Amino acid sequence: MIAGRVYVTDHDHAWPDGGAALVTAPVVIGDGCWLGEGCAILKGVTLGEGCVVGANAVVTRSAPARSMLVGVPARVVKRYDPGTGKWLAAGPVGSPERRAERAWTFSPTSRSWGGSP
């Protein structure tokens, strides 16, 4: 599935010495990938099947099947576990603890926000 404003390129330029000469490397996007809104997939990247690329990510490196990549440059933050049918955090980023740490909540009684950025 490919969202809007997705950009996939298999080349760069050999700038400045080679001018606009092309430096190319194939891009391979596995079956069942979901490329989020506005992401860019750069030359030489191979995404295994079933990967998710977050909105506005810039993917500069390859990733194995069932990886979730976000950010600039994109990093793998979750992996899909077929055993549990869940996306599991691939590191501290994306974990429930991290999310709770970063959550802001609005208190209607004090009418103020609490939490940390």
Ligand X SMILES: CC(C)(COP(=O)(O)OP(=O)(O)OC[C@H]1O[C@@H](n2cnc3c(N)ncnc32)[C@H](O)[C@@H]1OP(=O)(O)O)[C@@H](O)C(=O)NCCC(=O)NCCS
- Interaction between residue 79 and ligand X (CB under 6 A): no
- Interaction between residue 52 and ligand X (CB under 6 A): yes
Number of residues that bind ligand X (CB under 6 A): 19
- Interaction between residue 94 and ligand X (CB under 6 A): yes
Indicate which single residue of 27, 33, 36, 40 sits in contact with ligand X (rule: CB under 6 A).
Answer: 36
Of 3 and 25, nearer to ligand X (C-beta) is 3
Smallest gap from residue 15 Cβ to ligand X (A): 27
Return the beta strands (E) in 48-93 as ranges: 52-53, 58-59, 67-70, 75-81, 86-89
Distances (CA, A) of 79 to 14, 38, 86, 103, 116: 34, 21, 8, 22, 26
**104-107 and 112-115: which strand pairing?**
antiparallel
Let me know how long the chain is.
Answer: 117
- Interaction between residue 77 and ligand X (CB under 6 A): yes
- Interaction between residue 54 and ligand X (CB under 6 A): yes
Cβ contact 39:52 at 8 Å: no
Q: Which residues bind ligand X (CB under 6 A)?
A: 1, 3, 36-37, 52, 54-57, 68, 70-71, 77, 87, 93-94, 98-99, 102
